[in-house]
Structure 1
Amino acid sequence: MRKDAKIYIAGHRGMVGSAIVRQLEAAGYGNLLTRTSSDLDLTQQQQVSDFLLSEKPDYIFMAAAKVGGIHANNTYRADFIYQNLMIEANVIHAAWQAGVKRMLFLGSSCIYPRDCPQPIREDYLLTGPLEQTNEPYAIAKIAGIKLCESYNRQYGTAYVSAMPTNLYGPNDNYDLANSHVLPALIRKAHEAKLRGDSTYTVWGSGRPMREFLHVDDMASACLFLMEQNAITDGLFNVGTGTDVTIRELAETVMDVVGFAGEIVFDASKPDGTPRKLLDVSRLQQLGWKATIDLREGIALAYADFLTKHAGG
């Protein structure tokens, strides 16, 4: 990409979108185009079409989406499938109309079947049933991947898709009612430390294994994929290629936070899938690899939490 190229980041205030903005600015890209949801409603086709036809960006990072935890996905199923379908369909179609040749679409690892062989390869897509709790969201993301693929084949665009593993980092959601596991553990450990508790309760058995990627590494991968002109199509897993047990994760969080109590596992709460690890060999063979290890990343995330949520 040229340093003066006009680059539209959809969803620039979210965790991934804001990380992409930071990455682009650090790399010297200065002509960045952003709009808040109050300025541009991506679910409205005419607004999106008018905006992209007027601005005609050279590149688009498609990080806008309605997202949430298991409870939200399972409760607001119609909202999740409708809003995400509308957002991606409007942006992808209007981008083609506006002559945008290059786009990166952000998906989620929940697109893969519930009972996948491990590690999960890109070609496992559509080979089995999805996890029911977030099936509407997953179907919408699969539709986005297929939209990109179809526009590439019919119209010669170069829209690629990136599927991240579990992300964490600056601008994460720390609301215990709907946050994901890592930010929830950070907040719970911090509050237990402040209260002087002797124990720290973690859902489930602690045995499931999960993979975690710092959002700055995710943004780095997105920029890498966009800058590879030879990559004009396809789906790429983005992760570290390694995983840890929830027990190991909780222990690392406790160490970073400085909470010296004991872990108590609440076996009445579900474990979820025993293991969920992405095969990231396709992206690594192109020359990209994650650089932020888990303990370092958790320390960075905790510092951000202290600044934004704990008055630090």
Structure 2
Amino acid sequence: MILILCPMRVLVTGGSGLVGRAIQHIVKEEGGGKEGEEWTFLSSKDANLMNMEETRAVFQKHRPTHIIHLAAMVGGLFKNMRVNLDFWRNNIYINDNVLQAAHEVGVVKVVSCLSTCIFPDKTTYPIDETMIHNGPPHESNFGYAYAKRMIDVHNRAYFQQHGRYYTAVIPTNVFGPHDNFSIEDGHVLPGLIHKAYIAQKEGKPLVVWGSGTPRRQFIYSLDLARLFLWVLREYNEVEPIILSVGEEDEVSIKEAADAVVAALGFKGEVVYDTSKADGQFKKTASNAKLLRYLPNFSFTPFNKALKDTCDWFVANYDTARK
């Protein structure tokens, strides 16, 4: 008897973003793809995932067996504070359409991407996977946070009603090549990199928004990409899993700014504009569950990952998102 193995057809939504490009790099440049796997990376040009008919059409076209769902409306603290309603509505539409269309075409597994900002603002630390729904998220980004939380509700409901093994990962602050380096709307680290680059060129001080005291765990996009592949192939729980460096690797925004200064060789003055909001003070997450599965996973050291990101930004300044 000849056993014919069906190919694993993986569709990545948000495939042109920070994490999508990192997964593409690992699969295509570093040999992370396996024989029998077909990979398709979608961008917003391929379909408007806020529209159910377009979502259905692109899923019918590619007939995926597995999905990595990264597509989302995203932005940094100040964009979130401005348009919480847009973050809520757009992400609810995207997530509902993607999961329902996946179910309709018989997708075996969906791995969606959440964020540590979904966790309660008032909580004990470190936060873990059991604490997602224990209280309201931080007021600054409640629209995005609640929309992302609902993916967890979606996943449990698809399992209960249809036996689907749809799950989600919760990364801490992601950074790396192909990030959005927008100063106004990007996340803290790429924003700092862009500001330091400009300040260096213009001979001006680097102005860091806020006090510099909030603390964050940063995960390099290529490390996250490797972990995504493991979750897709090996992780068989519906319950989400935090993908993060350890609690001991948490750094303050000031420490992150100092690291950017060192990586770019910035020689000017660094000043802190305390009239700007700090956002949530900390979101310390436990990676104990991840380490139970992968005790020997090696994260890229923060300073090396940051230097590689800064070098990429300088080399690709004209075409980088900003």
The answer, yes or no, to whether TM exceeds 0.5 is yes
1:247 pairs with 2:250:
no
What is the match of residue 80 of structure 1?
87
1:235 maps to amino acid: P
- List aligned pairs for 1:153-302, cutoff 5 A: 153-197=160-204, 199-228=205-234, 231-241=236-246, 242-287=249-294, 289-302=297-310
What is the match of residue 100 of structure 2?
93
Do the aligned partners of residues 107 and 311 (structure 1) sit closer, same or farther apart at CA in structure 2, a change above 3 Å counting? closer
2:218 maps to amino acid: F
Q: Which moved more, 1:133-142 or 1:28-37?
A: 28-37
8 Å CA contact retained: 1:169, 1:216: yes
- List aligned pairs for 1:141-152, cutoff 5 A: 141-152=148-159
Match of 2:74, SS state, is coil
1:19 pairs with 2:22:
yes
> 5+ unaligned residues in a row in structure 2: which ranges?
none
Do the aligned partners of residues 232 and 127 (structure 1) sit closer, same or farther apart at CA in structure 2, a change above 3 Å counting? closer
Residue of 124, 133, 149 corresponding to 1:126: 133
What is the match of residue 40 of structure 1?
47
Tell me the TM-score normalised to structure 2 length: 0.90
8 Å CA contact retained: 2:115, 2:148: yes
Match of 1:151, SS state, is helix
Q: Which moved more, 1:185-194 or 1:89-98?
A: 185-194
1:224 maps to amino acid: W
1:104 pairs with 2:107:
no
Q: CA deviation at 1:4?
A: 4.3
Do the aligned partners of residues 236 and 166 (structure 1) sit closer, same or farther apart at CA in structure 2, a change above 3 Å counting? same
1:49 pairs with 2:52:
no
1:157 maps to amino acid: R
Q: CA deviation at 1:102?
A: 0.9
Partners of 1:16 and 1:311 lie apart in 2 by: 17
Percent of aligned pairs sharing the same letter? 30
Q: Which moved more, 1:161-170 or 1:64-73?
A: 64-73
1:23-82: CA deviation from partner (whole Å, max 9, x where unpaired): 222313452123332331211112222332343211100011111122222222232111
What is the match of residue 305 of structure 1?
313
Do the aligned partners of residues 232 and 110 (structure 1) sit closer, same or farther apart at CA in structure 2, a change above 3 Å counting? same
Do the aligned partners of residues 54 and 294 (structure 1) sit closer, same or farther apart at CA in structure 2, a change above 3 Å counting? same
1:113-150: CA deviation from partner (whole Å, max 9, x where unpaired): 11221221111111112112211111111111211121
Partners of 2:232 and 2:152 lie apart in 1 by: 16
1:186-233: CA deviation from partner (whole Å, max 9, x where unpaired): 122222222234x4322222222111111111111111111115x131
Partners of 1:96 and 1:61 lie apart in 2 by: 14
Q: Which moved more, 1:292-301 or 1:16-25?
A: 16-25
Tell me the TM-score normalised to structure 1 length: 0.92
Stretches of 4+ moved more than 4 A in 1? none
1:195 maps to amino acid: E
8 Å CA contact retained: 2:16, 2:42: no
Q: CA deviation at 1:305?
A: 0.7
> 5+ unaligned residues in a row in structure 1: which ranges?
none
1:150-195: CA deviation from partner (whole Å, max 9, x where unpaired): 1112211111100111111111111211121111211222222222
8 Å CA contact retained: 1:240, 1:290: no
What is the match of residue 8 of structure 2?
5
Do the aligned partners of residues 49 and 41 (structure 1) sit closer, same or farther apart at CA in structure 2, a change above 3 Å counting? same
